[in-house]
Structure 1
């Protein structure tokens, strides 16, 4: 077990905070059998005249069974970006504390930190998009409260080695947020079983990628009960709406279809990679453990604009550290990938 004291790591104002409670929080077990006169709702029955379950009990129970983790270790958010900000609000004093990120990385960590007045330490990945060999000494030299590690990484697509990530979790004196948004596309296993072992480990996953539910904006966070309790302290009441809860529950009943779609996407990724290596203007195709591919081209802005004119939108990642002249391509349907390949052939012939 990690020796980190979570309450000592958190801001005093959070430890002292008395959270907002709805009257319905006190009647979780038998709430729908009671006459509800507590929340000033319209009493006329429509599908959505009542507030949603503030604790998302049914949804958490379903996630708990699938992920094999207690629902007391689950927090649900309006997309993962919400929880990144909440964690900073819990553990970082504005203007005083700092976080660590590893560019090139997901841009919302930095944006959330800036919004919350948190300082940012950037430790660049090496040319292979991996950690520096002296990473443990480097990370603890900053006295940081939180570090964010997306694995598979976005925009590069690679997973970090299991041993490196575990070593960082063991040695870091703050919170390690492991963003597993793309883990369902990876051969590497989730770190979820290690939640019991490391008090400073927070794992985020999402309904937006393999689950195919980006439109409902639902993120899952897994951590020890102390961290989950603090997140529940400061979240907005009823932060997950009724439609989202209902839609997610239906999706969780159809996980075989999710696995089937992921396999199709991965097969298409392999096929697409084979074609990408055929074009002269594509200088490198980076390895990918996700549902997207990073490529280095001769001129990313030129190639991006050429694709736009052919009605194909990719991500121009030229402005990220170490990603000069790169494009990030999401693996689409076979028909979409075929159109991309044909467009690239035309560009190659110009």
Structure 2
């Protein structure tokens, strides 16, 4: 018999219901295509494949630092921003420690807590989908996790509530900004620059269109980042992924901004169509809409039968059953709306 950790035995694989569909709106990735620089950078990096990548992605750290007006020592990278988050948890928490986070939020966070032997403490969002700063601080957790715009709700946290958390935290505050490029409000990168206990994480998987290459990054004080770097290991970003990410970051900024604007326009057009069906999507600053809908799991399965995949959630705190519908070019949205109309009948 294979020995197992008691706290680990019942953890399931991350495998949301999915099947190959002609229209897949379940992952919130960039459905407008890959950035122009990808193919050129990819082919130029092929010669590096037989060798290990440079340890700790120095070229990407330098490129990100230049784009942020920061020092490379203030930037960490990883295999997606979820890897940066996981590394931070390992760096700052001992097994048995508490990890507190807003609820609902990114489904991998409670999973990371269990895998790392931590005690997950979800704290419900307020009725306005903002973080309950006092309740989160009352947990006394050494690490607090925030997500804005929030996955899966799409809602943004208020500046006042986030600053209240950062000011009152006894340890590290992780602010996940995977969807920041789609948001119209102010981001929280300034807190990572000015507060020693803040790590802001971002990704190349959403607006930048590089989900298949798995590249994420974080910004924080050099002292904080040094601990995360120790936890991540030297080769989390492949040489090809690093080269492509550097090229897209430095050459394709205008393309990324334009595609993000396209996604926001499609999101608001989709909101109007959903409202005309009698539905009430939540306010969103991301590239998706969350649509409260009783029986959402059944509706999603019926949509998959019509070749459209969306993400369904059951009994979300403060929301109930809901569909999360990613946005992309309008023909995909038309297909999704047709499948949804048929499923609702």
User: Given the two structures, how large is their TM-score scaled by the length of structure 1?
Assistant: 0.81
**Which residues of structure 2 form unaligned runs of 5+?**
1-45
Q: Is the 8 A contact 1:286 1:293 kept in 2?
A: yes
> What is the rounded CA distance, in whole Å, between the counterparts of 1:130 and 1:263 in structure 2?
24
**Which residue matches 2:309?**
313
> What is the rounded CA distance, in whole Å, between the counterparts of 2:237 and 2:267 in structure 1?
33
**Which residue matches 2:281?**
285
Distance 1:71 1:319, change over 3 A: same
Q: Please list, as runs of the form range in 1=range in 2, the aligned pairs for 1:253-264 lying within 5 A after superposition.
A: 253-264=251-262
Shift in Å, 1:160: 0.6
Write out per-residue CA displacement over residues 240-265 of structure 1, whole angstroms, 9 at most, x where no aligned residue. Answer: 11111111122111110000101111
Shift in Å, 1:80: 1.6
RMSD of the TM alignment (CA)?
Answer: 1.7
| 1:269 aligns to 2:270 (yes or no) | no
User: Given the two structures, how large is their TM-score scaled by the length of structure 2?
Assistant: 0.83
**Which residue matches 1:225?**
222
> What is the rounded CA distance, in whole Å, between the counterparts of 2:54 and 2:93 in structure 1?
30
Distance 1:143 1:47, change over 3 A: closer
Shift in Å, 1:345: 3.2
Shift in Å, 1:55: 3.4
> What is the rounded CA distance, in whole Å, between the counterparts of 1:193 and 1:231 in structure 2?
19
Write out per-residue CA displacement over residues 40-77 of structure 1, whole angstroms, 9 at most, x where no aligned residue. Answer: xxxxx954232211132222222122222221100010
Shift in Å, 1:319: 4.0
**Which residue matches 2:65?**
64
Distance 1:239 1:298, change over 3 A: closer
Q: Is the 8 A contact 1:317 1:323 kept in 2?
A: no
Distance 1:140 1:275, change over 3 A: closer
Flag the structure with more relative contact order, 1 or 2, with Cα contacts below 8 A and sequence separation at least 6.
Answer: 2
> What is the rounded CA distance, in whole Å, between the counterparts of 2:159 and 2:138 in structure 1?
23
- Once the two structures are overlaid, the 10-residue window that deviates more, 112-121 or 225-234, is 225-234
| 1:191 aligns to 2:192 (yes or no) | no
Radius of gyration: which is bigger?
1
**Which residue matches 2:54?**
53
SS at match of 1:277: helix
Q: Is the 8 A contact 2:182 2:286 kept in 1?
A: yes
> What is the rounded CA distance, in whole Å, between the counterparts of 2:198 and 2:183 in structure 1?
20
Shift in Å, 1:122: 1.6
Shift in Å, 1:301: 2.2
- Once the two structures are overlaid, the 10-residue window that deviates more, 212-221 or 318-327, is 318-327
| 1:200 aligns to 2:197 (yes or no) | yes
> What is the rounded CA distance, in whole Å, between the counterparts of 1:184 and 1:336 in structure 2?
21
Q: Is the 8 A contact 1:314 1:329 kept in 2?
A: yes
**Which residues of structure 1 form unaligned runs of 5+?**
1-44
Q: State the number of aligned residues.
A: 299
Q: Is the 8 A contact 1:152 1:158 kept in 2?
A: yes
> What is the rounded CA distance, in whole Å, between the counterparts of 1:239 and 1:268 in structure 2?
34
| 1:99 aligns to 2:96 (yes or no) | no
